[in-house]
Amino acid sequence: MKKILVFKSDRIGDLINISSVIYNLKKNFPHSEITIVCSKYNSRIANYYPDLQNIIILDKSFFSFSLKYFKKLYLTKYDLLLQLDGKKNSYLCSALINSNIKAGLIFIKYKKILNNLSSIKRPNFLMSKFFDYLEPCVEDYQILNNKDYHYLNLYLNILKKFNLTIYSKNHHLPFNEQNKQSIKDYLHIHIDERWDRFSDTLYNNFINKIDEFLNTNKIFITSNISGNKFYFNIKEKFKSNNNFLFKDDVSIADLLNIVFYSQTVLSSHSGLIVHAAAAFKKDIIDLVPETINHELDRWIPFNINYQRFNTNNFSKLFI
């Protein structure tokens, strides 16, 4: 295969999550040209992958996007098209593109309509006819076989469907550290806006846990752009403690650098942090509400040291 087109126009962590797909495509077809359709947001991480020869940014307007990239999308013949983001505009665009093989996911929801259980599919029946293969993904996080719908496994199943060899399931992120750090092997805690939904009780318990952990350990704490109340409260409390480092308004390059030099990362399942940490082979801790446990089962990277603690009970955190 010479020309491959991949749609992944969502978040940064989602793009790192398909890094093994890109890796395996290039291993199977070393002389191929891979084009990715991504969002403006995750295009910043796409630039780190030399195997992605062309990066196309999907606009919200299907018309302006199609007009801007008309030659690249509709006048180019592709050998393989993979629709991996599940977005309506991506399905529509994929249907119009000329490719020998088109594949992706079909998302299935079950809803009661007039007391009858009916399935709702994305893409719909008509749009599905434009694809050679669609891997089923049931959008119900509470089903008993929930782990059967692990997203990366589903993507790799598509490759297997066309007899491609799976060389690796691991995350990959080609990254040359931007600023070499003398401080290494610290605990990196990324506190984003999700943490502001945590209770005051959790905040107090978390502070106590940090006090237990500190001793001679270094902790590097970052926040989302503009920060949040949880982050600034912790910064105020520990700003004079030499074991703490704080960095506000971090760029993607900053975050990657901080994760790269860490030993362990802790977040409330921040996608960039979790998936970059997996690529760099770091230990990962998720602190999340119990209600999303089943959902997260579909996202956990393979072959890493991963632990999850729920916000209502994290007594063993740091032990």
Question: Can you give the pLDDT at residue 179?
Answer: 67
Tell me the per-residue pLDDT of 15-53, one tens digit each, with 9 for 90 and over. 999 999 999 999 999 999 999 999 998 999 999 999 999
Residues 6+ apart with CB under 8 A from 162: 80, 101, 103, 133
Four-CA torsion 316, 290, 276, 248, nearest 10 degrees: -80
> 3-class SS at 253?
helix
> 3-class SS at 224?
coil
Residue 135 in contact with residue 59, Cβ under 8 Å?
no
| Strand spans (E) along the chain | 3-8, 33-38, 52-57, 78-83, 99-113, 116-122, 133-138, 186-191, 219-223, 244-247, 262-267, 283-288, 306-310
Question: Can you give the pLDDT at residue 318?
Answer: 66
Residues 6+ apart with CB under 8 A from 193: 224, 228
Question: Can you give the pLDDT at residue 138?
Answer: 93
Average pLDDT across each block of 10 residues of the chain; the chain has 319 residues. List them in order.
Answer: 94 96 97 96 94 92 91 95 94 96 94 75 95 95 85 97 97 81 89 93 89 79 92 93 90 93 96 97 95 92 95 73
Residue 117 in contact with residue 111, Cβ under 8 Å?
yes
Question: Can you give the pLDDT at residue 313?
Answer: 77
Question: Can you give the pLDDT at residue 304?
Answer: 96
Question: Can you give the pLDDT at residue 119?
Answer: 82
Enumerate the H helices of 43-145 as residue ranges.
Answer: 43-46, 62-68, 70-74, 88-96, 125-128
Four-CA torsion 137, 309, 240, 179, nearest 10 degrees: -40
Tell me the per-residue pLDDT of 139-166, one tens digit each, with 9 for 90 and over. 988 887 888 899 999 999 999 999 999 9
Question: Can you give the pLDDT at residue 178?
Answer: 64
Question: Can you give the pLDDT at residue 182?
Answer: 76
Question: Can you give the pLDDT at residue 209?
Answer: 85
Question: Can you give the pLDDT at residue 96?
Answer: 96
DSSP 196: G
Q: How far is CA 7 from CA 36, 91, 100, 236, 315, in A?
A: 6, 9, 16, 43, 41
What gap in Å lies between CA 159 and CA 161, rounded to an integer?
Answer: 5
- Give, rounded to a whole angstrom, the gap between the first and last alpha carbons of the chain: 50
What gap in Å lies between CA 67 and CA 63, rounded to an integer?
Answer: 6
